[in-house]
Homo-oligomer: A and B are copies of this chain.
Amino acid sequence: MASNGSDEAPAKRIKRRRQDEDGFYFKSYAGVSIHEEMIRDEVRTNSYRLAILRSSEQIAGKIVADIGAGTGILSCFCAQAGAKKVYAIEASAIAEQARKVVKSNGMEQQIQVIQGKVEDVELPEKVDVIVSEWMGHFLLYESMLNSVIYARDKWLKKGGIILPSKASLYLAPITNEEIYKERIDFWSEVKSKYRLNMDCMIPYAKECIFGSVQIEDVIGSDLIAHEREVATIDISTITEQELQSIQGSFDFKCFGISKFCGFAAWFTVTFDDIQDRDPVTISTSPYKHPTHWKQSVLYLPEPVSVEQDTEMKGLITLSPGMTNSRYLDVALQYTVGEMPQISRHYTMSDDYPS
């Protein structure tokens, strides 16, 4: 009967202390499979590899900090790019494996693996480069960017660089009536299947499913308007304070007649290129090659009919979860055509498996 997912029952929330949050979070990176999944994602890993090797002019002979180094793969890429020293900081027990990876590639002189939380670790010197793969689902789930900011403010030399340097969040309205058939109509079908009326479960099913962020592979052709960039994060300057509330407005114009079912969100991250080539970018767009991040969807409780050029305007706000700062709360305010403004809240957590 055990299952996994991300529904949220807002009624009963148990506050965990920050220490517990971190303990649970870091344990989730101790097993092998999460690292396999990330390294298997070639869009992710090849982009980091390419961006690091292309930055070899800035990395060669320099000091690097890899924030949340995992198996150490990005640290090794930095060593291959000629780094003089890489501090590979990793809080979970996978750090032990990173040490082996470093050794078996003969990089012990260059890379020092340090097991500990970024916030607890001391480095013997400042660094020229920070590299980190900190992005979670919906960009900010897991709140790992906070540790990158902490490292930047404490260790990065003036004029030092951060890889990647920029992140952007995109939003687009989508259609996907299947979700209502699959997840909501199910409860009406119990009557014919088992001779029992479970229609009364529908409001709760809607509350759970349409009150939480759904992580799924959105089909490009389900977009009913062009996407908008709703927020940009400059990783060189963003503050922890600013991350408490990332806000952006949007304004869509629908392609044609369709059923508007929700908003899909995704992100890109960009690595600066000093040689003025097109910068390396990881895109998690539904139009691009799928990544392990998939897309994030904020569904409406029921579809809304739209026509060609129907306008949707609104505001999206992302903030750390109220019950656990590694979770994510999403607030939406929007209008569709001439209809009155609507406000919705979505949570993203693993507290309430679905």
Residues of chain A whose beta carbon lies under 8 Å from any beta carbon of chain B: 1-5, 7-9, 11-12, 14, 23, 27-28, 30-40, 42, 45-46, 49, 71, 73, 76-77, 80, 93, 96-97, 100-101, 103-105, 133, 135-137, 141-142, 183, 186-187, 190, 193-201, 204-205, 207-209, 292-293, 350-354
* With A1-B38, A3-B34: A76-B28 Cβ-Cβ less than 8 Å: no
Most buried by B among A3, A11, A293: A3
- For the A-B complex with A9-B30, A12-B30, A97-B200 known, give 20 more contacts whose Cβ atoms are closer than 8 Å: A1-B133, A1-B135, A2-B28, A2-B34, A3-B37, A5-B34, A7-B31, A9-B31, A14-B27, A32-B207, A36-B205, A39-B190, A39-B198, A73-B194, A77-B194, A80-B195, A101-B197, A101-B200, A104-B197, A105-B197
With a cutoff of 8 Å between Cβ atoms, the chain B residues found around residue A7 in the complex are 31-33
Complex-state Cα separation, A3 to B30, whole angstroms: 12
With a cutoff of 8 Å between Cβ atoms, the chain B residues found around residue A45 in the complex are 193-194
Complex-state Cα separation, A350 to B14, whole angstroms: 19
**Is there an interface contact between A198 and B73, defined as CB atoms closer than 8 Å?**
yes
**Is there an interface contact between A194 and B46, defined as CB atoms closer than 8 Å?**
yes
Most buried by B among A4, A31, A199, A354: A31
Chain B, residue nearest A137 (CB): B2
Complex-state Cα separation, A2 to B140, whole angstroms: 11
Chain B, residue nearest A28 (CB): B353
With a cutoff of 8 Å between Cβ atoms, the chain B residues found around residue A353 in the complex are 28, 31, 33-34
With a cutoff of 8 Å between Cβ atoms, the chain B residues found around residue A49 in the complex are 194
Most buried by B among A2, A195, A207: A2
With a cutoff of 8 Å between Cβ atoms, the chain B residues found around residue A30 in the complex are 9, 11-12, 352
